[in-house]
Amino acid sequence: MLSKKLEKALNDQVRIEAASSQVYLSMASWAEGKGLEGIANFMYAQSDEERMHMLKLIKFINERGGNAHISELKAPKNDFGTFQKMFNELLEHEIFVSDSINELVHVTLEEKDYATHNFLQWYVAEQIEEEALARNILDKINLIGNDKGGLYLFDRDIQQITANSAAITPKE
């Protein structure tokens, strides 16, 4: 059985994961509108992944005797300036999510809820991967600079990141 404090913290994370899905969906739509099909597909996949994270939390809360809440979300912005700025925001957002997960893990230790602590270790590992991927993408973007040919190749290559991660990442 979840404590009320932990149930609230988990529900707060449900909202963060839902908002993340919406942010990445907005980024995907923006990129698609700019003709950046590879980046758009990558961001659509990121949006789907965040939704999966949210659903995993919802099911866990309900299975542990809590009551998962679906809350209202603030609309994400829909203009990101440049694809470089967009990926900087992606990294900043992933760092925010990591901080939130870490705080949630801290609450599990305070509440001595080791089952939830164990469950959240998947999220801890996932966030390490998400931040590393965002940093790797930003490194590539910095290499490109303002080269339009480089952007074309990057847009094409980022589809491989999406395809490869889908092929090697087990869906839970």
Binding residues for Fe cation: 17, 50, 53, 94, 127
SS3 19: helix
Whole-angstrom CA distances from 91 to 8, 21, 23, 64, 88 are 26, 14, 12, 32, 5
Closest CA to 116 of 5, 33, 23, 6: 6
Residue with tokens 């303002």: 146
Class of residue 146 by CB neighbours under 10 A (exposed 0-12, middle 13-18, buried 19+): exposed
Check: CB of residue 145 under 8 Å from CB of residue 101. Answer: no
Residue ranges of the annotated binding site are 17, 50, 53, 94, 127
Check: CB of residue 61 under 8 Å from CB of residue 7. Answer: yes
Class of residue 99 by CB neighbours under 10 A (exposed 0-12, middle 13-18, buried 19+): exposed
Check: CB of residue 94 under 8 Å from CB of residue 134. Answer: yes
